[in-house]
A and B are shown apart, each in its own frame.
Chain A
Amino acid sequence: MARGKRKQLIATLVLMLCTAIFPTLSHADDAGLIVSAGTSRKLAKGLNAGFEAEFRSRNSFRTASRVGLAADISYKVLPWLKASGGYDLLIDNNREKITYQDDGVSYNNWRPSYWGVRHRFNVTLTGSHKIQRVELSLRERWQYTYRPSKMIDNFDFDEGEWEDHEVKGKGKNVMRSRLQVEWDIPKCKFDPFASVELHTTRQLDQTRVIVGVERSHKKKHNFKLYYRGQFYRDKTEDTNIHMLGMGYTYKF
């Protein structure tokens, strides 16, 4: 591909990225950042181990929302099938929560934002198929997340005083299905990719859309720049958020 055409392609991708973000931005939606850095090491033929640290923000990039550490191990069962398992330590800044009386106007309780820990385990199967320079992959992931109980402050407007409130420990199972397409453009340093992921508990809870570009250098360094939109079914619990993502992975 000619140099000019490649630039044109990249510009088109960036434009697509922007057009993917901004039309979906509603007044109530939020914006944030995902920055990650990780390593990956080949342990044996088809067997890899990875480690990644991640930072997220919300509130139009102004408020830290998560720090995460993740480790996983994966094995290529078949040329087109990969199995993996992993653990995530998630340290979340949980959003404030305001509840109202029956009249819908008078305050009932206010729980300010607080930091809390979660533990997440996952088992994943990824099947992939390459058609010329386009690779399709379907990833099915079961994840279990446990949130330990924690005592936090809560202002009770009825009582007119601060109270200790126990956020009870609970576990949550989520099935995640992701369909991704990657395009390996000849002689282009950047490879575009896009995916749609559905998070399902008893019903569809969240839909993620990702559009981005990836660049590898000497098969050791891998950079990603992408847009990620997270759209929730129950907007009273979560706010839709549009995120700018940057990732780096070093492969041993």
Chain B
Amino acid sequence: MKRLLHYSLLLTVMVLGLTSCVNDDSDMDDIIAQYQVEPASIELDYSDMTEADDVPVTDEADSAYNDYVENSAWNKVIEINYDGATATVNGRVSGVSVQTSGAHVTVMNMSGPVKFVVSGTTTDGSLKFYGDKRFQILLNGAQITNPHGAAINNQGGKTMYVVLADGTSNRLQDGATYTMVDEEDQKAALFSEGQIVFSGRGTLDVIAEGRGGIRSDDYIRVRPGVKINVYSTALDGLRANDGIILDGGVINVETSGVGAKGVRSGGPMTVNGGRLVAISNGDTRITDESDLTDTTSCAALYCDTLLVVNGGTVKLKATGDGGKGMNAKWDVAIQGGTFMAVAAGTRLIKSPKGVKIDRNLSITGGYFYTYSRRSDPLDVSGTTHVAPGYKTYDHGPKVITIAY
């Protein structure tokens, strides 16, 4: 019996010895590390930027010829100076009428190219243009706030050149509620039915509380040297129906409205240079119509058609629920420059994605980075083409980096 007891004890000790405190969990350390990666820092960047010389197009046959303010003669000048509740107008141009009501200025331009030099400060004023003639606004230290609507409103369909005088700081601000005029749009603090072309070496701050920040029902071009900062708590920050061309400049856009887009292009968008930082902090907008619930997520950049990045820097960040760094409805081609998109929001109603493309993505050059904290960093419905020759191709569950 003793022998049996001894053998039993020995066997028990041996078998128990086999059973150590080994953990049988899967080795998830490396996998979890991939999911805990922090995104690249994307913040509004006001620093100066060294840019190549902005050489105007001189070939009249070039479609961009008329986008260069230098290609028109600006010998017709009218000065508008705001001072509190009043506005003073200096200069007379045949075919141009300027009417003031307090600090609200209305211009009827039936002449050719006219240059309006705008300066001074008002907290209850505006500048409105009628007439299908292209014109230039030289913002020379203008601070215009309109509590009832757009600060600058162009009802004409021709080009509005917005030139920021060298070294000046300018500010345009709308009100929380707009007083509408029949059959007239005013969709933003700076609104134009026609093209808007920004140039100059000054700074423009746009604060939007009622509607969008800057909006054109045509296209918007931004030239090197410009500094534009848009802060919108309502609708889209920078929006154009027919396209956006960024040749240069420093552009910061921050929006916080539900469903708002930092930058939205209804037509082809091309980035040739400059630095665009767009941050969307809003959550998904929910609308109920006829028992149907519609949801619209935010995006730092929203493109209805083709996006081409040839150069410059595009940094996008969405922090709200379901927010996309970029939401593109058509093809996207990254051919150069730096493109970074971060989605750091929650996934309560919509999925936050660094880059969402409904068609095809082509990457042939430059630097491409996308990150999503809570969903796919890259969601391409069509095909993704990455040209050979890249130096970096890191594809993780939260971040994708491709560099040439």
**A62 B374 Cβ-Cβ under 8 A:** no
Cα separation A35 to B1 with both chains bound (whole Å) = 20
Tell me if A157 and B8 are in contact (CB < 8 A): no
Specify which of B11, B22, B31, B36 is in contact with A62 (CB 8 Å cutoff): B22
Rounded to whole Å, the gap between the CB of B186 and the closest CB of chain A is: 42
Name B1-54 residues within 8 Å CB distance of A: 1, 4-5, 8, 11-12, 15-16, 18-26, 28, 31-32, 35-37
* Contact partner, B373, options A95, A98, A159, A218, Cβ 8 Å: A159
Q: Within A179-216, which residues are at the interface with B (CB < 8 Å)?
A: 215
A28 nearest CB across to chain B (Å): 14
Contact: B374 with A61, CB < 8 Å?
no
In the complex, what residues of A have CB within 8 A of residue B26's CB? Answer: 96, 98, 110
B4 touches A61 (CB 8 A): no
Assuming the A-B contacts A59-B24, A96-B24, are A160 and B19 also in contact, with contact meaning beta carbons closer than 8 angstroms in the complex?
A: no
The minimal Cβ–Cβ distance linking B321 to chain A, given in whole angstroms, is: 13
A246 to B15, CA, bound (A): 10
Q: State the Cβ distance, A140 to closest chain B Cβ, in Å.
A: 31
B267 within 8 A of A: no
Asked if B35 and A63 make an inter-chain contact with CB atoms under 8 angstroms apart, the answer reads no
Q: Across the two chains, which residue of chain A brings its CB closest to B20?
A: A62
Instruction: Report the bound CA distance from A157 to B398 in whole Å.
Output: 10
- Chain B residues within 8 Å of A177, by CB: none
Q: Is the CB of B4 within 8 A of A160?
A: no
CA distance A223 to B267 in the complex (A): 85
Asked whether any CB of chain B lies closer than 8 Å to the CB of A57, the reply is: yes
A160–B374 contact, CB under 8 A? yes
Which residue from B20, B24, B28, B37 sits with its C-beta under 8 Å from A95? B24
- A160 near B36: Cβ-Cβ < 8 Å: yes
Chain A contact surface mostly: strand
Contact of B19 among A64, A110, A223 (CB under 8 A): A64
Answer yes or no: B76 CB below 8 A from chain A CBs: no
* Complex CA–CA separation, A112 to B35 (angstroms): 16
Asked if B347 is an interface residue, CB under 8 A from chain A, the answer is yes
Tier of interface size on chain A: 20 to 34
Interface residues of B in 259-294 (CB under 8 A from A): none
Residue interface mask B371-397, A partner, CB < 8 A = 1: 001110000000000000000000001
Please state if B374 and A155 are interface contacts (CB–CB under 8 Å).
no
B16 cross-chain contacts in A, Cβ below 8 A:
33, 35, 55
Whole-angstrom distance from the CB of B345 to the nearest CB of chain A?
A: 11
How far apart sit A157 and B15, CA to CA, in the bound complex (Å)? 38
What's the minimum C-beta distance from B350 to chain A, rounded to whole angstroms? 13
| Contact assessment for B4 and A217 in the assembled complex, using a CB-CB cutoff below 8 Å | yes
- List chain B residues, Cβ under 8 A from A161: 36
Contacts of B15 in A (CB 8 A): 33, 35, 61, 244, 246
Instruction: Determine whether the beta carbon of A63 is less than 8 Å from that of B23.
Output: yes
Contacts of B5 in A (CB 8 A): 221
A113 is an interface residue with CB less than 8 A from chain B:
yes
State the CA gap A215–B3 with chains docked (Å): 13
Residues of B within 8 A of A159 (CB): 373-374
In angstroms, Cα B113 to Cα A150, docked, is 76
Please tell me if the beta carbons of B4 and A113 are within 8 angstroms of each other in the complex.
Answer: no
On chain B, the residues within 8 Å of A62 by CB distance are 18-20, 22, 24
In the complex, which residues of chain A have a beta carbon less than 8 angstroms from the beta carbon of B347?
Answer: 158
B23 touches A223 (CB 8 A): no
Residues of B132-163 whose CB lies within 8 A of A: none
User: Complex Cα distance A221/B6, Å?
Assistant: 13
Q: Determine the distance from Cα of A95 to Cα of B26 in the docked complex, in whole angstroms.
A: 10
Q: Determine whether the beta carbon of B11 is less than 8 Å from that of A246.
A: yes
Which B residue's beta carbon lies closest to that of A57? B19
Asked if A228 CB lies within 8 Å of chain B CBs, one says: no
Which residue in chain B gives the minimum CB-CB distance to A244?
A: B15
Q: For A248, what are the chain B residues with a Cβ–Cβ distance below 8 Å?
A: 8
- Give the distance to chain A from B4, nearest Cβ to Cβ, in Å: 7
In the assembled complex, which residues on chain B have CB atoms less than 8 Å from the CB atom of A218?
1
| Least distance between A245 CB and chain B CB atoms (Å) | 10
A61 cross-chain contacts in B, Cβ below 8 A? 15, 18-19
Interface: A107 (CB within 8 A): yes
Cβ contact of B12, chosen from A35, A59, A106, cutoff 8 A: A35
Given contacts A59-B24, A96-B25, A96-B26, contact A223 B4 (CB under 8 A): yes
Tell whether, in the assembled complex, residue A106 and residue B397 are in contact, meaning their CB atoms are under 8 Å apart: yes
Q: How far is the CA of A244 from the CA of B12 in the complex (A)?
A: 11
Chain A 56-75, CB-CB to B under 8 Å as 1, else 0, gives 01110111100000000000
Q: How far is the CA of A117 from the CA of B8 in the complex (A)?
A: 29
Residue interface bits B105-148, CB-to-A below 8 A is 1, else 0: 00000000000000000000000000000000000000000000
- Residues of B within 8 Å of A223, CB to CB, are 4, 8
Which residue of chain A has the shortest Cβ distance to B31 in the bound complex? A107
| Docked pose: A64 CA to B25 CA in angstroms | 12
> Chain B residues near A106 (CB, 8 Å)?
397
Q: Using a CB–CB distance below 8 Å, which chain B residues touch chain A?
A: 1, 4-5, 8, 11-12, 15-16, 18-26, 28, 31-32, 35-37, 347, 373-375, 397-398
16 pairs, A vs B, C-beta closer than 8 Å: A33-B16, A33-B19, A57-B18, A59-B24, A61-B15, A63-B22, A63-B23, A106-B397, A157-B35, A158-B347, A160-B35, A160-B374, A160-B398, A161-B36, A217-B4, A246-B8
3 pairs of A and B residues whose beta carbons are closest in the complex: A59-B24, A57-B19, A62-B22
- Contacts A63-B24, A106-B397, A217-B1 aside, 16 further interface pairs with beta carbons under 8 A come to A33-B18, A59-B22, A59-B24, A61-B15, A62-B18, A64-B21, A107-B35, A110-B32, A113-B23, A155-B28, A157-B397, A159-B374, A160-B35, A215-B4, A217-B4, A248-B8
